[in-house]
Homo-oligomer: A and B are copies of this chain.
Amino acid sequence: VRKAITSGQITDEVDAVVQPKRQVRADALRNEDAVLEAAKAIFVTAGVEAPVREIAARAGVGLGTLYRRFPKRSDLVAAVFRREVDGCAAEATALATQLPPGEALATWLRRYMQFIATKRGLAAALHSGDPAYNSLPDYFQANFVPALKSLLDKAVADGKVRPGIVPYDLLRAIGNLSAASGEDGLEHSQRMVDLLIDGLKFGAAATAEKTTA
């Protein structure tokens, strides 16, 4: 008993179903973003074990809304982490449009070091074995490796950095250098990341010298 329908009817029917869904989806995204922003701020001051009630209150959403989207605390922690990875990776694109290639690379590597240095507490949670965190290392690499590769390629093309540097090698080195403890740990890490950046430039200078000699 199927009825012949015109394409106009289909469109109307689809609209009737999709339109409210879009609205719901927009609200949900707005709520989700508010929760993630609130959670990020509260995790920094109170750690990733901070009361979920506080996060919901700060975000201006009900506790039910928060739990519907993030049933477990680890879901929320993982989402905050992914959002911050997105933000840091996006900065690579922004810097590439604002600075000369060599400076964009150096600035982003320092920014990345800050990112890592402020994630020490989170890193401990990530190694807890909770399945919500399983995909994060891949997410991390899938975003940061292309971001850094793009900056490196531009700096190499501009003659500011030697070719042949493996992006993941640098990310890993900065991660290890950021593990410096003590009250001067961050300043030490910054100096040593700057020294690594100089190392990247050294090869380029040598190549340039050879070329002009």
Contact = CB atoms under 8 A, between A and B. Distances in A.
A130 interface: no
A160 to B, nearest CB: 12
A206 B198 CA distance: 10
A195 B192 contact: no
Contacts of A196: 192, 195-196, 199
Interface residues of A, number: 22
Interface in A73-98: none
A199 B194 CA distance: 8
Interface string A193-206: 01111111111011
Nearest to A180: B176
A211 to B, nearest CB: 15
Interface string A175-209: 01101100000001001101111111111011000
Contact of A188 (B169, B191, B199): B169
Nearest to A165: B195
Contacts of A50: none
Contact of A176 (B179, B197, B198): B179
Nearest to A178: B176
Contact of A177 (B173, B191, B200): B173
A68 interface: no
A169 B198 contact: no
A210 interface: no
A195 B176 contact: no
Contacts of A198: 198-200, 202-203
Contacts of A169: 188, 191-192
18 contacts: A169-B191, A169-B192, A173-B195, A176-B177, A176-B192, A179-B179, A194-B199, A195-B199, A196-B196, A196-B199, A197-B199, A198-B199, A198-B202, A198-B203, A199-B199, A201-B202, A205-B205, A205-B206
